[in-house]
Amino acid sequence: MPGSERTVVWFRKDLRIDDNPALAAAARDGAVLPVFIWCPAEEGRFYPGRCSRWWLKESLAHLAKSLEALGCPLVLIRAQTTLDALLQCVHSIRATRVVYNHLYDPISLVRDDKIKNELLGLGISMQSFNGDLLYEPWEIYDENGLAFTTFNMYWEKCMELPIEISPSLAPWRLVPVSGIENLCTSSIDNLGLESSKDEESSNALLSRAWSPGWRNAEKTLEDFVCHGLLDYSKDGMKVAGTTTSLLSPYLHYGEVSVRKIYQLVRMQQIKCGNEGNSEAGESVNLFLRSIGLREYSRYLCFNFPFTHERSLLGNLKHYPWRADEDRFKSWRQGMTGYPLVDAGMRELWATGWTHNRIRVIVSSFAVKFLLIPWTWGMKYFWDVLLDADIESDILGWQYISGCLPDGHELGRLDNPEVQGQKYDPDGEYVRTWIPELARMPGEWIHHPWDAPSSILEVAGVELGFNYPMPIVELHMARECLDDAISTMWQLDTAEKLAELDGEVVEDNLSHIKSFDLPKVVLKELSPSAPHCDQKVPTDDGRNLELQPKELTGLNKQTICVDVIKASKMEDTGSIVNSPISRKRSSSGSVFDVPSCSSSVEVRSQNQRPGGYFVGSSKYILQKAERNCFDKAEDDDSAHSGTNTSRASKRPAASQG
């Protein structure tokens, strides 16, 4: 029998009935008010884009029908502040408790902590749950209580720990509360998720390929496990056609539980092991690794909350990014003159989705060939991706830019022509998205500038007229990249000398026309909350300076708490499959991270005098051994084609 509690269930990115810990707890203990609050003013920098908002609207409609069938309508509220809306809900139904599932990005952590403190001060019980991860970020630390800064070491530690893979059962019935009539509610259409008729007509195309909603997510998962999982490794080499899981947008809005995914995939892994199917086992392991990368993206954002605006490796603060808006525009529009890059960017703009391999290729081109600031690329991906995910996008762009200890080697330059021959050998993908090259023979399609004039004439290609010449030639890109790295190390050395004189050297990104990113400070958390609750900072009203803190596991977290300001953003789409025909493939926003055993520990400045500064936070990163990059070109190089990496021109004075 349900208890006597009157509980507000605050839905966010957990739009499902099955395996929803917050909903299950509320249903077990009494009457329930399910509520979703849309507060555009609070989204600020992370305001979702068009296609992402379309997905949200469709998913909410799907969830509303499911909740109605269980006996409880979903209350939708458009508000100026989330706190005011929750207070309205609490007072209207005389609620005794508010429950929700955790989020891990810096903006949500700050907002959730503020709301929790306000409601607790009013005597209202607040309880939060893990509905998004296999492991909470504050559960995984090394033997010294320090945060991992390489994926492999993090994931190895995770695999040593037990995983609770028994999903929470979906409630079969919900008891509604009285007092809903006192609420100022909104219809789905009046939430304003589609802001114009033009958006509505554009979004109509998305519904032909995608089917948002938690039940559709479960169908997609079942279809992938039955028909796509065992070929995941082999199909991942293709950028055209159906090659991956299509689960990323469902995961973004929490329409499917990561625990459920893990459980089904692990069952296949055990089956493959028993049958001795090594090839299928490799595919399963690769897919589980992609789940691990998603976990790691949350882990990094939680433990290093500045990574949405600064690189993890502090020496990158001196990197001379080229704030060239014309080149940035050419990259966005798919007019760089490199067919595979242009095809990827045009697909991204047209559909809001593109294969993970293409995401790696186009982002690498932006930061290595064009020297475009990685924060610009991350912002653009957030604007246009249907499955745009803050934490995953941060991990991907920092990795590609060489901002992580196990990321791409800073001097690595991948050749788009070679990548095209590897991942699109017949030119099918390029012809689909670049009609100007539709009649180019496969031999020349990835480097039309080398084709004889007779071939170009027959194909109807006039370079510089209906298709651009390369925006920068490979040898020039190589030279500019080497010069940029050399400049970075020179500035890094100059900073270390300047620090001896008490000077402060700013981050180069701070001088670039950028996007209004939230500014954060650090405070220390004393975990007095129950084990299941979100580990969040306490707010004592003081804006503390960024100070070196030692991460000491569950009992002493360091986390970002104060968001000073925010602005506005936009986003776009992906494509879903049916059980019969999976029309597109999606591996999510997470970029593949290389196999690398090196680790970097985060310690206080007083503990370890050497190392790299991590931005202005005064964290010290112990210098990582980078030889894994030299020996293997990492896992991603197996996917990204031949590179033209050279030894960087690092001055001897900055060695060590």
Binding region for FAD: 232, 244-248, 287, 387-389
What 3-state class would DSSP assign to 614?
A: strand
CA nearest to 559, candidates 178, 74, 102: 102
- DSSP annotation of 76 reads E
Alpha helical stretches, state H, 39-138: 40-43, 50-70, 82-93, 106-121
Q: What is 527-590 written as a DSSP string? A: --S-TTS-------S--PPP------GGG-EEEE------------------SS--------SP
CA distance 317 to 510: 9
Burial call 512-550: b when 16+ CB within 10 Å, e when fewer: eeebebbebbbbebebeeeeebbbbbeeeeeeeebebbb
The pair phi, psi for residue 362, each rounded to 5°, is: -70, -35
Q: What angle do CA 203, 208, 213 make, to 5 degrees?
A: 80
Binding region: 232, 244-248, 287, 387-389
Token pair 């029309």 is found at 583
> CB neighbours of 19 closer than 8 A, spacing ≥ 6?
131, 167, 168, 170, 257, 259, 260
CA nearest to 124, candidates 3, 1, 5, 2: 5
Structure tokens, 236: 């991942």
**Dihedral Cα 43, 48, 49, 54, nearest 10 deg:** -120
The sign of the torsion formed by the CA atoms of 367, 370, 372, 377 equals negative
CA max distance for the chain: 81
Structure tokens, 183: 């609420």
Whole-angstrom Cα Rg for the chain: 25
